[in-house]
Chain A
């Protein structure tokens, strides 16, 4: 069993470069997963991951072990950064409506894995942000209901409502995947 996040953070705060590399190796894939699914854009996900770590480096000397889970704190920071970008996107989209894009697979070929991935991506993008956030935290980030609710700042009951509505909308949007 490896060191806890708190132990690694205290070494980061002391300027241990190996600890910093260990923390990045441990958390970067999770941040890319989170930001990638929230923003559905690899480049923006990298920017969010980088900025979240900048904040983690600043936080490390002030971190008090046992007061909060670092993973929860990092998720909250990354989600706030994602929401900043989603807000900016909406402002730009309002000013400049995007062109219509192809919404489905070509009719003359079957659903390849990449097609399914794109369909799911679009279905997730079409969800209200909070429903997408709930699904990303519980399904992709594998957070428990209490921790996901804490990250979102809602009750467990509200989280369940967001998950249920989100998943029903996804099922309706992806109904033809089952038939394919």
Chain B
């Protein structure tokens, strides 16, 4: 009764495990199962019918259906589109960090460096800006 390596015992084991529909059996064993079914149709049919009875009973247990608004509630929690300005600012995830580093460097340079164009070193060591625009920039960068 063996055909292409499929023994009746193996056929029965597969029916017991995967049920009466050979299409749901492991792909690599379906052909050998079909050969055995051709050779022993009555026996194979009785094995498959017994397994199919349990399949049918299992199908009677229907899955619960989700509440009407569950899908909407779940979808509402999905990631939101990123704001356009964030995409522009951080093309490689480094834009913001680079800008901050530049600003910090500028402030440090102003505080430690020699008097530069547009900056006045007063006699008591206090740095003041020569014009309003620069003063505003330094305050923002430092803040």
Contact = CB atoms under 8 A, between A and B. Distances in A.
**Interface residue range, chain A:** 35 or more
A82 interface: no
B77 A57 contact: yes
Given A24-B75, A28-B71, A145-B18, A177 B57 contact: yes
Contacts, number: 116
A36 B64 CA distance: 6
Contacts of A12: 78-79
B18 A138 contact: yes
Interface residues of B, number: 34
Interface stretch (B19-27, B39-47, B99-107): B19-27
A57 B77 CA distance: 8
A139 B17 CA distance: 10
Given A20-B75, A50-B74, A120-B57, A45 B64 contact: yes
Contact of A15 (B60, B70, B82): B82
Contacts of A171: 54
Interface of A: 12-17, 20-21, 23-25, 28-29, 32-33, 36-37, 41-42, 45-46, 49-50, 53-54, 57, 60-61, 113, 116-117, 119-121, 124, 135, 138-140, 142, 144-146, 156, 159-160, 163-164, 167-168, 170-171, 174, 177-178
